[in-house]
Amino acid sequence: MKDDENNSTWNGLHVGQFENDDLDKLIPLMSQEFKDWDTNQIKSYLSLAASTKNNFAGALVAKNKAGYYVGVLIYTLQQIDAKYVENSKPNKNDNGIDVLVVEHLIASSLILQKHVFMSLVDSALKVAEKHSCNFVELPKFDSKHYELIQKKYKNQISDSTDYRTYLKLNKSTDKQIVL
């Protein structure tokens, strides 16, 4: 985990950007999500997500007090064409809407799952703000996790479909996602 100003502590969990140096330590956690992948495939995926050479993807990790990884969130930075945003009139100078897309969110422990889940989502919102994103796109979660999102971010939910949920960042305009 990188030691930088973006790291946070959430009730005993330390959340920060993942570094490739810790690749082997994340293999057991990633194997839960990617059961059909071998170790080399998982390492390749993590290396791509955590590469300092790209500015379009990243990974956040959560460590407990004992220093074990208990969660990981893989994200990409993308742009949505402005025509998909309500009340927006696309023009020549409009480069689109910047979105942090949560590709995978994995928590290791059923006991800590809600806590890990929310700490990683909260940290993803900070990363999105740092990258001047307008929205965070979350994958479909089971109902108990989605209830946590609805409860905490009810005023920021721009659109929710069966497949994805969009959280509008506070600095965003009043535009809404249209799917």
**Residue 127 counted as domain residue:** yes
**Residue 1 counted as domain residue:** no
Question: Tokens for 67?
Answer: 């220093």
Separation of alpha carbons 25 and 20, rounded Å:
10
β-partners of residue 57 are: 76
What pLDDT was estimated at residue 172? 44
- Which CATH number characterizes residue 163's domain? 3.40.630.30
**Residue 2 counted as domain residue:** no
**Residue 3 counted as domain residue:** no
pLDDT of residue 6 exceeding 90:
no
Segment 39-78, tens digit of pLDDT: 999 999 988 887 767 678 899 999 988 888 999 999 999 9
**Residue 62 counted as domain residue:** yes
Q: Which domain holds residue 73?
A: 8-168
Quick one: what percent of the chain has pLDDT higher than 90? 30
Q: Which residue has the tokens 């942090």?
A: 100
3-state class (DSSP) for residue 2: coil
Per the structure, how many domains does the chain have?
1
**Residue 178 counted as domain residue:** no
**Residue 75 counted as domain residue:** yes
